[in-house]
Amino acid sequence: MSGARETQIRVSEIFGPTIQGEGILIGLPTVFVRTGGCDYRCSWCDSLHAVDNAYREQWVPMTVDGIWAEVTRLSGGKPLMVSLSGGNPAIQPLGGLIAHGHERGYSFALETQGSVAKEWFADLDVLVLSPKPPSSGMATDFDAFENCLGMAADGPEIALKIVVFDDRDYAYAREAATRYPDLPVYLQPGNHTPPPPDDDDARVDIDGIMDRMLWLVDKVTEDRWFEARVLPQLHVLLWGNKRGV
Ligand SMILES: C[S@@+](CC[C@H](N)C(=O)[O-])C[C@H]1O[C@@H](n2cnc3c(N)ncnc32)[C@H](O)[C@@H]1O
Ligand SMILES: Nc1nc2[nH]cc(C(=O)O)c2c(=O)[nH]1
Ligand code: SF4
Ligand SMILES: [Mg+2]
């Protein structure tokens, strides 16, 4: 059995500092640790290079010390929010990394679809749960989702972030928000031109994203859904589909 120091975490990329482009922490400077591998395969995933097994050889098994050396280098040793994303970061053993960073004054936010619950969710500072609407082609297992909520009870701040492409997705978002009335809800217009995994400078249809953003604002205001927040992916507006920003 390997000890905590030898635990291997499958990493797709570590980058930053940049700003968090989505949801509850939008605008906050952060370093991303993106893990490799996902139990979902959303039709419109914008991070297929961290999902599709075809990219597996680009994912590097790293120890906490190895990841931490890179986070420290990128942040200049000054504590900040570390964003854990993927792929599904919940399928990696991240408890040791979170403890290591906390001892050094860093904070941690994790993004996950809510399909896999881990005890170390309780140690996070922010848990962003992003259940997937019908357009993704994935079905939500609400029991698994509630296990995630259970693990995070009395722990991190929790927020819902739901991607919306169409009316069915919007209805799904409303239903999810009704189920969890205590959670803040962030609605995010889908990027219908997600990057092909191999292309760093893939074209993005900003006009199309803004059209969907305006449509979503109309829906929310017409429905008097005054608790919802509607936000675009700020990093996509700024840098398009570029990777590592
Ligand atoms: C790439 S995922 C990784 C973390 C985790 N697997 C999840 O889905 O929450 C990070 C966020 O990007 C969102 N996302 C992925 N593809 C998108 C797209 N084409 N347009 C808008 N948001 C997208 C996901 O819904 C999720 O909220
Ligand atoms: N700047 C920036 N913000 C983000 N928020 C969520 C991201 C993700 O891919 O998980 C992401 C990302 O890749 N870049
Ligand atoms: S769950 Fe997240 S990383 Fe996995 S395929 Fe869907 S959007 Fe991509
Ligand atoms: Mg992204």
Give the ipTM of the model, two decimals please. Answer: 0.99
Closest ligand 3 atom to 47 CA: 8
d(CA 35, CA 90): 9
Closest ligand 2 atom to 22 CA: 5
pTM above 0.95, yes or no: yes
Q: What is the DSSP string of 49-117?
A: GGT-GGGGGG-EEE-HHHHHHHHHHHHTT---EEEEESS-GGGS--HHHHHHHHHTT-EEEEEE-SSS-
d(CA 160, CA 184): 6
Continuous H helices in the chain: 64-75, 95-103, 142-151, 167-179, 206-222, 234-239
How far is the centre of ligand 4, averaged over its atoms, from the C-alpha of 124 (Å)? 20
Closest ligand 3 atom to 113 CA: 1
From the CA of 243, the nearest ligand is 2
Task: Indicate the SS3 state at residue 134.
Answer: helix
How far is the centre of ligand 3, averaged over its atoms, from the C-alpha of 1 (Å)? 31
Query: Binding residue per annotation — 148?
Result: no
Query: Binding residue per annotation — 130?
Result: yes
Residues above pLDDT 90, as percent of the chain: 94
Whether 3 has a pLDDT exceeding 90, the answer reads no
What pLDDT sits at residue 1?
Answer: 41
Query: Binding residue per annotation — 44?
Result: yes
**For residue 108, which of 117, 92, 120, 116 has the smallest C-alpha distance?**
120
Q: What integer best gives the mean pLDDT of the chain?
A: 97
Closest ligand 3 atom to 115 CA: 1
* CB atoms closer than 10 angstroms to residue 113: 23
pLDDT band of residue 202 (cuts 50, 70, 90) is confident
d(CA 191, CA 240): 10
pLDDT band of residue 112 (cuts 50, 70, 90) is very high
How far is the centre of ligand 1, averaged over its atoms, from the C-alpha of 45 (Å)? 6
Query: Binding residue per annotation — 107?
Result: no
Within 8 A by CB and 6+ apart from 193, the residues are 202, 203, 204, 205, 208, 241
Strand partners, 127: 110, 158
Query: Binding residue per annotation — 199?
Result: no
Tokens found for residue 132: 């997937």
Q: Does domain 4-239 have CATH number 3.20.20.70?
A: yes
Burial label for 147, CB within 10 Å (0-12, 13-18, 19+), is middle
Tokens found for residue 40: 């979902």
From the CA of 113, the nearest ligand is 1
How far is the centre of ligand 2, averaged over its atoms, from the C-alpha of 109 (Å)? 11
What is the residue type of 177?
A
For 27, 76, 86, 90, 215, the CA distances from 128, given in Å and listed in that order, are 15, 26, 13, 12, 24
Whether 2 has a pLDDT exceeding 70, the answer reads no
Burial label for 150, CB within 10 Å (0-12, 13-18, 19+), is exposed
- Kindly report, residue by residue over 14-49, the tens digit of the pLDDT: 999 999 999 999 999 999 999 999 999 999 999 999
pLDDT band of residue 199 (cuts 50, 70, 90) is confident
From the CA of 89, the nearest ligand is 1
Q: Name all residues whose Cβ lies below 6 A of ligand 3.
A: 38, 40-42, 45, 47, 51, 86-88, 113
How far is the centre of ligand 1, averaged over its atoms, from the C-alpha of 129 (Å)? 10
Query: Binding residue per annotation — 19?
Result: yes
